[in-house]
Structure formats: structure tokens, C-alpha cells
Amino acid sequence: MSVFRENEYATYHIQDDILHVVYKFGTSINLPIAIRIVEDRLAVQEGLAFKVLCDIRGVSQINKAARDYLAIEGSVLVLATAFIIGQTVTKALSEFYLQINKPPVPSKTFTDWEAAKTYLREF
């Protein structure tokens, strides 16, 4: 399966049975944007569950409604998630999200792509 999709917030593609979601630099996520992101991800997945490698280094902020939505609806058809983070804002955002929102699928943060892929291969 080789599918590519892009919107104004992120790109989506499947490689080696892992769905890659890469957020664009400066992306600010509110509830309507979170809904669009999940809709586009589900369209790429075509009803199949995937491990997700999510590069959130481009995210500048995310509000509570979006976090809550992504924690539940964002986990539909997701086997596990590895978040690629930077050293500053995205690290704080991702740690806060994982501790407060507690996604229902295994989720972990990484600064290294290969370590993230290794983690996802466990699922």
C-alpha cells in the first residue's frame, strides 16, 4: 500500500507497514483542525489498523479540546504511536499529552526516527 495525502497541517504516507504523519512547521491545533487531521488519517488507512509514527516537531500549540479529541478519536485504528519530538516545545507538549490525556494505545516519545521505528515494530 503506497498512499500519500497532504493537507494544510500535515502529510500522511505509509511505508513498511507504518503510517507516517508529519506535521507542518507552525501548526496550531484546535478542535476543528484535530477533526480534519483524524479524518484525513482514516482516509489514508482505508479501514486498516496501523502503527503510527507521528512527527510533531512542527506543532506550535494544541488546545485542550483538540488534545481530548486526539486522545480518543485519534486512536481509532491505531495499534501504537511513536511521537518524534524536538528538544523544546514539542517535548513539553507531548509529555503533557501522554500524562494528562492517556491515549488508549501504547504511545511513547522519541527524538530519533530509528528508535521510534524499532519501538513500533514491537506491535
Higher pLDDT, 87 or 106: 106
**CATH tag, 4-121:** 3.30.750.24
Residue 92 above 90 pLDDT? no
Which segments of 6-75 does DSSP mark as H helices, in order? 31-45, 64-72
82's enclosing H/E stretch is strand 78-84
Q: How far apart are CA 2 and CA 57, in angstroms?
A: 24
Split at pLDDT 50, 70, 90, the class of 2 is low
Asked whether the beta carbons of 37 and 10 are under 8 A apart, the reply is yes
DSSP state of 90: H
Which residue's entry shows cell 514491537? 122
In the prediction, which pLDDT does 90 show? Answer: 66
For 110-123, write each residue's pLDDT tens digit: 999 999 999 999 99
Higher pLDDT, 100 or 46: 46
Asked whether the beta carbons of 41 and 19 are under 8 A apart, the reply is yes
| The model's pTM | 0.84
Handedness of CA 10, 16, 47, 64 (dihedral sign): negative
Split at pLDDT 50, 70, 90, the class of 57 is very high
Q: What is the mean pLDDT of the chain?
A: 92
**Across-strand partners of 83?**
54, 109
For 4-54, write each residue's pLDDT tens digit: 999 999 999 999 999 999 999 999 999 999 999 999 999 999 999 999 999
